[in-house]
Amino acid sequence: MEKVTINTLKEMKKAGEKIASLTAYDANFARILDEARVDIILVGDSLGMVLQGEATTLKVSMNDMIYHTRLVKRGCQRAMIVADMPFMSYATPAQALGNAARLVSEGGAEVIKLEGGSVVADTVRHLNEYGIPVCAHLGLTPQSIHKFGGYHVQGREQKTATQIMNDAELLEEAGAVMLVLECIPQQLAADITKKMTIPVIGIGAGSKCDGQVLVLYDILGITERQPRFSKNFLESATSVKAAIENYITAVKSVHFPTADHQFD
């Protein structure tokens, strides 16, 4: 079984092959995702909401992330494992290095993900110098939910759209190996994806990104409220595995997301 690596994802971007990603938080779901041939498993700090029942991701700890990443690692052989750095675990480059090293060595993460633009560029550069690959995250960044005043689409105004584009370029220059764009207008996401040489994964960012990521519990209809950018794939499937396979097929064939799942 060929392991998915950064080079695999770069080749997929070059070839125009869509990248399919889902979250997982334990070994059993990780195994099912892996067997369905998902490309990336994201151990998201979304676990604070979908597993712990919190209103935001802000209470998730470093120990939580290490624990759940370790569980996912046990169930995964092929997919790349990306793990979130939780709120305030990377306030300085030095703090980020210590925590990222734990997430890699104790948890088994292969790439760590952190949120923010220019403010984290030095941190991305620092981690890159120490050989820790970083996935950047722009647009709606859930750890800044109080700053945004809620879960709102970002980048609709010219000023913020320009800032997101500039931040994307800066983070790639700093050494980010991937970029997640969340809840931004589909045309802005398309422009960023075209400009970047690194893979760009969208969530509520339209179909022109190099790939898509969703929260597993959303596509299985488990969460209380279905986000507009997501879809319940279990409704038309005969099993959990079939729902996951249908999601992957829909992403790969560009049948998801549709206009109903993106923003203008």
pTM (2 decimals)? 0.96
- 11 annotated active-site: no
pLDDT tens digits for range 2-38 = 999 999 999 999 999 999 999 999 999 999 999 999 9
Partners of 40 in the β-ladder: 21, 80
pLDDT tens digits for range 202-221 = 999 999 999 999 999 999 99
CATH of the domain at 192: 3.20.20.60
pLDDT tens digits for range 78-95 = 999 999 999 999 999 999
Q: Is the pLDDT of residue 147 over 80?
A: no
How many alpha carbons lie under 13 Å from residue 174 in its C-beta half-sphere? 27
In a domain, 1, yes or no: no
Q: How far apart are CA 240 and CA 261, in angstroms?
A: 21
Q: Which domain does 94 fall in, by range?
A: 6-261
Return the pLDDT at 113. 98
- Domains of the chain: total: 1
- From the CB of residue 101, how many other CB atoms can be counted at a distance below 10 Å? 15
In a domain, 60, yes or no: yes
Could you tell me the two tokens for 163? Answer: 């800032």
pLDDT (average), residues 158-171: 97
pLDDT (average), residues 163-190: 98
Of 110, 115, 172, 182, which residue is the catalytic one? Answer: 182
Q: Max CA-CA distance within the chain?
A: 48
In a domain, 29, yes or no: yes
Q: How far apart are CA 87 and CA 95, in angstroms?
A: 12
Query: Which ranges of 130-239 would DSSP assign to H, the alpha helix?
Result: 145-148, 158-174, 186-195, 216-219
Comparison of pLDDT for 209 and 227, the residue scoring more: 209
196 touches 176 (CB < 8 A): no
